[in-house]
């Protein structure tokens, strides 16, 4: 089993849609969780950290379920500029950040 697994995608959604991505991780000792976005041929950029109580940043909401070892990202009112690959990142041990396989999102007009 991979350390971090994500929906393979791609997700093709119209502008204005709400879309959700899921991620599961295998190491129950993991302490920190993040969502990154990566545009084609660019470096990954931090989208948001994920906290146990859940957190929101504008149109983006992240949730963490430690019991199920599950992380989610919800994007509301999708924009064309949201088209990218979304990477779930988990910190299974100190200083070790492991990326999920990524989920590709394409928002169309």
Chain positions contacting another protein, by CB under 8 A: 31-32, 34, 41-46, 49, 87, 89, 91, 94-102
Distance, CA of 52 to chain centre: 15
Q: How far is the CB of 104 from another protein (least distance, A)?
A: 9
Nearer to another protein, 29 or 109 (CB): 29
Angstrom distance (rounded) from CA 86 to CA 3: 17
Nearest to 57 by CA among 23, 24, 34, 25: 34
Nearest to 68 by CA among 25, 100, 29: 25
Nearer to another protein, 9 or 76 (CB): 9
Nearer to another protein, 59 or 96 (CB): 96
């Amino acid at each position: 089993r991979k350390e971090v697994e994500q929906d393979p995608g791609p997700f093709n959604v119209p502008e204005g849609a709400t879309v959700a991505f899921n991620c599961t991780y295998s190491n129950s000792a993991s302490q920190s969780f993040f969502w990154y976005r990566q545009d084609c041929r660019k470096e990954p950029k931090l989208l948001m950290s994920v906290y146990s109580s859940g957190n929101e940043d504008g149109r983006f909401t992240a949730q963490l379920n430690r019991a199920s070892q599950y992380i989610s990202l919800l994007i509301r009112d999708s924009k064309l500029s949201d088209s990218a690959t979304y990477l779930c990142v988990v910190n299974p041990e100190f200083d070790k950040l492991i990326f999920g396989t990524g989920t590709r999102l394409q928002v169309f007009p």
